[in-house]
Amino acid sequence: MPIDMAANRYGSIAAEIYDIDKPYFALPDTRFHLERFAGFDRPILEPACGSGRTLVPFLQAGLDVTGFDPSGEMLERCRVRCADAGFAPDLSRQRCEDFAYDRRFGAILIPVGSFTLIDDFAAAMAVLRRFRDHLESGGVLVIDLQGLNFLAGGQPDRRRWSAPNGDLLTCGGIRTATDLLRQRAETTYRYERWRDGTLVETQIDLMAQRYWGLDEFRLALEAAGFGEVTVCGGYDRSRGPRQSDRVWTFEAVA
Ligand SMILES: C[S@@+](CC[C@H](N)C(=O)[O-])C[C@H]1O[C@@H](n2cnc3c(N)ncnc32)[C@H](O)[C@@H]1O
């Protein structure tokens, strides 16, 4: 029986782990996207900006970036990290499904596969149309996407980290549902905080993701009104996607 709980919450322990696990520039995407947007002089929107892992380096590179995220914990971290770096960008608590701005952007960027967190096909299509409606004519949409190999996977995920205050943070993720018809997977994560050998906090977060096929996503972009769709694999602009890629990067023009 499905458990009725909000998915993709990114609660406080998940948010704390995110920043320990993924410091600025630890993943290859930031340099790749910074190279793409070097000298870009139009405003950029980063939906699902999280704690600013991408947004802060973009601001430091002189780019005009606005972000939103539904997780209060991630967004608060983003605000603090922007302020620490001397920036106060437009950040708001919104979701991809119903975000709104009274202005348009020159680009929308969603790195590291966050788009898969829109776990329903119809909802994701509506989000792509909403992205197009928030782009200037000729504006670009750049989306990193994990492919169907992730749907087929689902190995248990067990990891641990030391927090700056000495707490031990642990995470155990178990695939709890795989729906091949809807290309959707659910993973239940149990986060724990241990202090002086004692378990002091536990949080359960459900992650629900919809994975896309290569041609399916190209068609989805076109159906949402985008043109000039291109895709590369492995953060390497010189080549197309491969089966073994962890990430494909799509670019399309509004
Ligand atoms: C993998 S993190 C990515 C954060 C950031 N973009 C980065 O580059 O590190 C995914 C983010 O998506 C957010 N998220 C989850 N569901 C969302 C939704 N429906 N709409 C927008 N953001 C969502 C989460 O709160 C989380 O901060």
Domains, in order of start, for the chain:
12-149+210-253 (3.40.50.150)
Contact assessment for residue 96 and residue 224, using Cβ atoms and an 8 Å cutoff: no
Could you tell me the pTM of the whole model? 0.96
- Angle between helical axes of 121-133 and 214-223 (0-180°, round to 10): 50
Sign of the CA dihedral running 220, 99, 37, 149: negative
Ranking 1-15, 47-61, 97-111 by mean pLDDT, the lowest is: 1-15
Query: What CA–CA distance (Å, rounded) separates 144 from 247?
Result: 6
Q: pLDDT tens across 201-236, in order?
A: 999 999 999 999 999 999 999 999 999 999 999 999
Residue 69 CB less than 6 A away from ligand 1: yes
What percentage of the chain has pLDDT greater than the value 90?
95
Contact assessment for residue 202 and residue 191, using Cβ atoms and an 8 Å cutoff: yes
CB count in 10 Å sphere of residue 20 = 12
Which residue's CA is the closest to the ligand 1 atom numbered 13? 48
Residue 10 CB less than 6 A away from ligand 1: yes
From the CA of 53, give the closest atom in ligand 1: 9
From the CA of 15, give the closest atom in ligand 1: 27
Ligand 1 centroid–CA 18 distance in Å is 11
Ligand 1 centroid–CA 49 distance in Å is 6
Q: pLDDT tens across 81-112, in order?
A: 999 999 999 999 999 999 999 999 999 999 99
Report residue 4's pLDDT band, with 50, 70 and 90 as the boundaries.
low
Beta-bridge mates of residue 157: 173
Residue 1 has pLDDT above 50, yes or no: no
For the chain, give the mean pLDDT.
Answer: 96
Report residue 153's pLDDT band, with 50, 70 and 90 as the boundaries.
confident
